[in-house]
Structure formats: C-alpha cells, structure tokens
Structure 1
C-alpha cells in the first residue's frame, strides 16, 4: 500500500451562509452564526479541525453598490488567521449576491460587480491559501435558471444557458486574476456529484442526458465543450447552446464534489424521484470525475437529514467510500461534513425564511439555537483524529432515513450495526421527518 493510500482522509469543517434576497436574511443570521461564530469555531477546534470551508458574505460587504464594508469580514478572517485555521474561502454561495443586483445572475451588472469584489478580496487577504470562486455553478444556475426555484426564477434550458453565459465568463476571468494575485493559493471548484438512472426506456434516455448535463458547466469552464450530436447537444441547439463552446476558460486545482443521496435521481415516464433505488456507490462516482478530469478530488459537502445517529452512520458511509476511492488511486484531498451546526430553511429550498431548523449538522440546534453534542459530533471528532471508517459505529437507521437510504443497504451489508445509545438526545429530535421539496422541470 502506498503512502497516499495509507494516509487518513482529512476531515474538513464548513458553515452555511446562503443569502435569501427575497427575505434579506442569510443562514448565518437564522442560525445565529453571525453572533456565535467564535463559539462555533471553538467547537470545530475542539473536534481537532483547522481546515474549513468558510463563506465571505458579499451581500453584506457591498450592501450599497460600489461601497465595501469589510469590518465584520476583517474580524472573522483575522481570527481565522491568528488561530491557525486554514479557510477555503467561498466568494459566492448560491444566491449570496447583493440585493441591488435586482435580476440576480441575469443582471448585466453581475460580471463587472463580481470581478471588482473578487479582486478587492484577494488584495485585502493575500494570505488565503484556498478559495472557491463560485459555489456549485451548475446546481445554483440550474435552480435559478432551469427550475425557477431561486431568483431570477427563469425556467427551462434556455433560461439555464442564458445564466451560464452571463455568469461564467466573470468566474473564468477571476480564475486568471487569482493566478496573478494569489499565485500560491489553490482554486477549489465545487459542484454537485451526480449520477442518474432510468427505470424504463424514456427514463433512461433522460438519465443519459442528465449524466452528460452534470458536466456541462465545468466542461465549458475548462474549454472542453460538449458532444453536439448527443441528446444533450440536440437539446441545446435551439436555445443557443453553441455559446457554451466559446466561453472564456479558467483553471482548477482541486475538484470539489458535493454529494447527497438526492444527487442520484431515477427517471421514468412518470417523472423523476430521488434518491434512485439503485444508487451507484460514491467511490464509483468519485472515480468517474477523477478519470474525466484528472484533478485531486475533495468531498466538499455531504450530510443526511435525520437523527444524529443517522448522520453518524452516513459519515461512516461517505468516509468509507472516499477511502475506497483513495485505494483505487484517486487523490482524495478531504471530506467536509456540511455544515458544522444545523442549517435552516432548506426544507423549502430557501423559498421560505421561517428559521426551520434542518437536522443535518455535526452539532444540533435546540429550540434556543444552543449547540448540542451527540454521537455525531463524537464520530466526527474520531474521524478528524485519524480514525478510519471501520472504527466508526454504524447505528441502526431510524425512519424516515431507513426508507430514504434503502437502496444503499447492500453497500452497508458488511457493517456491524448497533442501537443508538439511549442517552443521546440527538437521536430523538423532532422535525427529522421533514422532507426537502425536490423537483425537476421537464423530467418526463
């Protein structure tokens, strides 16, 4: 076994901050991370973790066009630097752009404004070692431009392509700019890790197209293009898809893959559902991306909505799969459970802003938003300390996660299962039955 294969996969932290322009609130505020960030970082440090994905709140830094207020960012960034944290800074996380960009990612001002902000950040914090220029460009622009879930609420392939063409040239230019301003730092591209199946001929045709579509934005960013003769290519033709073939190109150092059970859909004549009943093992998916791009890979987001014992079990699964990918020769640069504390309002995909606590964090939030430890935070700290997946417990899954993950059970059949300890309050949380509102336009 090589030294790379023997090395434990590094565990990484992360905090959720998405801005909801329609409500003028972000998840830092609804979870009180904006005032409890020292406490939250102390929890991370207590777990033995110093490397973390951390967002920069452009929507609060530039609330007035052309006027930057770095005071809060200076405070947090200074604390991170002084206390030995290694942030992977996240410049735009989903719809976290200033509210004065009234058309969001369709706004003609987006590109110039984003570039001014990106340059100002790099010049202000030249010590940053890793950065994400735009979080999940495929899925973000898909939800904004194809699914009409987030502003500017465009729908269909035309809307999606229009947003890609408006946004990605600026991201590519920022990539080239950061090569000059931060020559020793690494660009961590982050997007969803997808794979889809079909249960009839119609569904399989759509799944094949979707399996091509998942690479569309990153391929455009790298100048790889797409197969114009494929089903995806034929679908793109009438909406000006050829524009994607001539976009400015950028560079990537690490390929970040965000993986959830709902990243694998199954399609049929009746539509699409997630997760597929026959999920591809995560290691196989990571290997697909590795073989396609040859870039070091990082699992940049994962979680499962459920009791804390369910989350500990899912952590065991994803870590085991990343260890397997590493054994196959994939350069695995880390695993990030996202987020460290429970998030809010993802049950409605941020359409509503109700402070609805999403049961997904390493630490769970009680009714007063106090951070609470559990078997999940114990497993997380063990993994951060170098424990392998085989050393982590597998807890019997509770409903609805047991049904939700039924297709994964064959991949977990070799585990020794145990009941969650009766003293673990996080295994008896309310709201764990709440489902995310998932949908796909034109999935038939």
Structure 2
C-alpha cells in the first residue's frame, strides 16, 4: 500500500504495560527481577504522570496458585483494586508466556493444563467481575512456537510435531474459557494478543519457506476461531503427518479486539542457509496491520512494541510505530491504541529467559539503573507527549546509534521524510551501557 494522504483520525491512545513472565527453572519472574512487585505504586505513578490510565497488566497465576487448588489472591487484590479505585483501565493478562504454576510439571504439554487453566480462569472472573478487558493467553502462537517448535522454553519440544501437540493441548481450553467469559463477564472484551508477522525470501527455497510462514502466522487464531486451515496448502500438507487435523473444526472461541505485537524481529528473511531478522526489505507496519484487518475485520491495538537500544533509539521507534498506526487508521482500520511494552526496562530477554541473571534489557519507556531506580529520558518525554495526543509528525526523530542503526537499516526508506537530530547531550539514557547485547534469536529448522 502507498502511504495515505488522508487527514488523521482521532489520536491513537497510548497504553502502558508491565512484564511479568515466570522463569520456571529459576522460580523467579520479571516482576521480581525488576522489583515491580515492591515498586508497583511507584511504577503506576509514572504512568499516571505520563497521562496514561489504560494498561496491560498481568495476573501471576504461578504465584496465585503456587499450591495446586489453593488460590491466594491477596497480592492481586491489592494491585487490581488499586487500579480500579484510581481510575486505571487494565487489560488483564491471565497467562503471559510460561507463567503457569511450577506444579504443572509438563507445562503446556501437561495433561492437567486444560482443567487447571479453566479452574483458574473461572476463579478469576468470579472474583473480579468489574474487569472490562482481558487477555486469556498472551501470544499463543509465539509462546507455543518457542516451547514446542524451537525447544527454547519448557517443555522444550521441537519441530512441527511438538508445536501441534502443544496447540492441541492448550487451544481447546482457551477457547472454552472465552465462551465461559461470555457468561461471566458479558460486558467485557477479549483482547486476543499475538505477534504481527510478515516474512520474505531471498532465493527460491527461502521464498517457499516464507510463503509457508506467512500462512502459518494465522494458524493459531484461525484454529481458535474454528476456521481451521487449508489442507491442500503447503502448510496443510506439512501438518498432515503430525496430526494437524486436531486443529480442524475446534469449537470456536470469541475474540473482540485483535492485539498485534510488533517488533522488527517479527519480519524474517529466509534463504537456503536459514533465517535472519529483521528482513532487509520490511513491509511497512501499516500494511501488516491492514493484512490482519482484511482477514479478521476486528478492531486492532498494537499491544506490544519496543526496540533494544539507547533511549533516543526507542523514541525514534515510537515515532515510527505511531506514524504507521496513524497511516493504518487513515486507511479505515480501527486502531484503538498503541502499547509500548514494557513501561520499565525488562530483564534477561537477551537469553530469551534461559538465564536469570537480572540482566537489564534496554527496552523500556523508563530505563533502570544498576540500583533498579526508574530514570527519565528523551523516550519518556516523547511517550508522555504522545499520550497527550501529539501526532507522530510532531515527535522527535533521533539518529539511531549502533547497533540499532545497522539492524534497522531496511526501515530507513520508510523514514526518509524525517528530519533527524542527535539526542541532547544532557540525556544520560542515550549513552547507556549494554545496548549492544543482542537477543539470541534463531529458527531451528528453516529449510
């Protein structure tokens, strides 16, 4: 699609978010390694001062039901009641990646996962009937792909067989939960959250794999909605030997809002030698949003985005994604909001959570110093301005530092109309250490 010249619609709402993924092998979660578990009032005050009241907020099932069948809602009560009483509007996240109780020893492959998950989901809905928006299972495609296809997260299965086995074990329970919530929370909306992908190929084998991956990106939500997949397609032929028919004709679940998580590494390029991210020829984000809108016709939220780098890099990426959301909106897509995720720096994503070293990930709106104090920067200033309704055209464009400058070079044609400047010399966040650390991204069988 060409960039729209239509006048912009209403300002895109800026949404907050906090990271809480549980690392089962270490019995720690990111609330704890960033000290959000004890500084949550401070962190919510940062949001309020930025003018933001809507936020993605997780419920820590792994702590709520640390003992099987025994729910301890005390910490959850304290935070969620605070949110309600202080005018915040949470999109409550019931399972964020591997955030399930440790007693589910098989994780997403455990035969007890479905009944346990449904018991927990029902208990939550009955306790918090005032919740207006919820996510039943964050990023089911990418979570179960990393757990079942790439052997990066427990239960460390690999290949298409492992992936489909996990989907067949998890999706029916999530769909049933969505039907249950239609009864228990009839006024609330289910915000389905998953990655927003598009892939390219640089040779014939690579393009063949990219074509399959571009079909595969819809497999989970299509299965959840009872649409199944085309058995005659390449993906369908690949799924036949691994029991893909288990995903055909599932009793449908319900989705009210389509949440799209977008990072530069959501666009891979494949060749005979394997895959790399991001692709050197990325599709504009507005075009990707349009593809999902055309397929599902659901209102959209950009539910996650960030870039690993200096705070000036982050401010420029915020300008990019906001501008692209505005373009999608101008083309008629109902884009309800944009969530920079997370509000504060995360930890240990450099190893995709394999290690638990408290290694600060330079991705937040507010950066964390070595004492985990929350620090302001040009990024937090740009974020607060966007929250007041300032359009992307009026946000600053700072020159990217390395390695982001090299990593995002494929995006530069989409930014050629910007007037770049250097971040102010007084901004400490634009010279942070450890911003050269790369995430350990890989695809095990892109052939």
Query: Normalising by structure 1, what TM-score?
Result: 0.99
2:302 is aligned with 1:299: yes
Secondary structure in structure 1 of the residue aligned to 2:248: helix
Moved over 6 A (4+): none
Q: Deviations over 1:36-79 (max 9, x none)?
A: 00000000000000000000000000000000000000000110
User: Is the 2:15–2:53 Cα contact (8 Å) retained in structure 1?
Assistant: yes
User: Is the 1:299–1:334 Cα contact (8 Å) retained in structure 2?
Assistant: yes
Matched residue, 1:56: 59
Whole-Å separation in 2 of the counterparts to 1:6 and 1:63: 46
How far residue 4 of structure 1 moved from its aligned partner, in angstroms, is: 10
Matched residue, 2:316: 313
2:36 is aligned with 1:37: no
Matched residue, 2:392: 389
User: Is the 2:285–2:321 Cα contact (8 Å) retained in structure 1?
Assistant: yes
2:340 is aligned with 1:337: yes
Whole-Å separation in 2 of the counterparts to 1:5 and 1:124: 40
How far residue 224 of structure 1 moved from its aligned partner, in angstroms, is: 1.1
User: Is the 1:301–1:338 Cα contact (8 Å) retained in structure 2?
Assistant: yes
How far residue 5 of structure 1 moved from its aligned partner, in angstroms, is: 4.6
Secondary structure in structure 1 of the residue aligned to 2:190: strand
Whole-Å separation in 2 of the counterparts to 1:229 and 1:6: 41
2:111 is aligned with 1:117: no
Whole-Å separation in 2 of the counterparts to 1:223 and 1:326: 28
Matched residue, 1:181: 184
2:163 is aligned with 1:172: no
Matched residue, 2:213: 210
Whole-Å separation in 2 of the counterparts to 1:294 and 1:441: 33
How far residue 227 of structure 1 moved from its aligned partner, in angstroms, is: 1.0
Q: How does 1:92-241 map to 2 (within 5 A)?
A: 92-241=95-244
Matched residue, 2:427: 424
2:353 is aligned with 1:350: yes
Select 1:251's aligned residue among 250, 254, 259: 254
Whole-Å separation in 1 of the counterparts to 2:396 and 2:146: 36
Matched residue, 1:264: 267
How far residue 343 of structure 1 moved from its aligned partner, in angstroms, is: 0.1
User: Is the 1:312–1:379 Cα contact (8 Å) retained in structure 2?
Assistant: yes
Whole-Å separation in 1 of the counterparts to 2:184 and 2:310: 44
Select 1:326's aligned residue among 322, 326, 329: 329
Whole-Å separation in 2 of the counterparts to 1:367 and 1:431: 12
User: Is the 1:55–1:92 Cα contact (8 Å) retained in structure 2?
Assistant: yes
How far residue 6 of structure 1 moved from its aligned partner, in angstroms, is: 2.2
How far residue 410 of structure 1 moved from its aligned partner, in angstroms, is: 0.1
Matched residue, 1:404: 407
Q: Deviations over 1:223-282 (max 9, x none)?
A: 111111111111001001111102221010000000000000000001000000000000
Secondary structure in structure 2 of the residue aligned to 1:6: coil
Whole-Å separation in 2 of the counterparts to 1:110 and 1:225: 22
For structure 2, list consecutive stretches of 5 or more residues without a partner in the other structure: none
For structure 1, list consecutive stretches of 5 or more residues without a partner in the other structure: none
User: Is the 2:216–2:235 Cα contact (8 Å) retained in structure 1?
Assistant: yes
2:98 is aligned with 1:74: no
Whole-Å separation in 2 of the counterparts to 1:93 and 1:240: 27
2:351 is aligned with 1:376: no
User: Is the 2:9–2:326 Cα contact (8 Å) retained in structure 1?
Assistant: no
Whole-Å separation in 2 of the counterparts to 1:23 and 1:207: 35
User: Is the 2:227–2:249 Cα contact (8 Å) retained in structure 1?
Assistant: no
User: Is the 1:161–1:239 Cα contact (8 Å) retained in structure 2?
Assistant: yes
User: Is the 1:5–1:329 Cα contact (8 Å) retained in structure 2?
Assistant: no
User: Is the 1:106–1:166 Cα contact (8 Å) retained in structure 2?
Assistant: yes
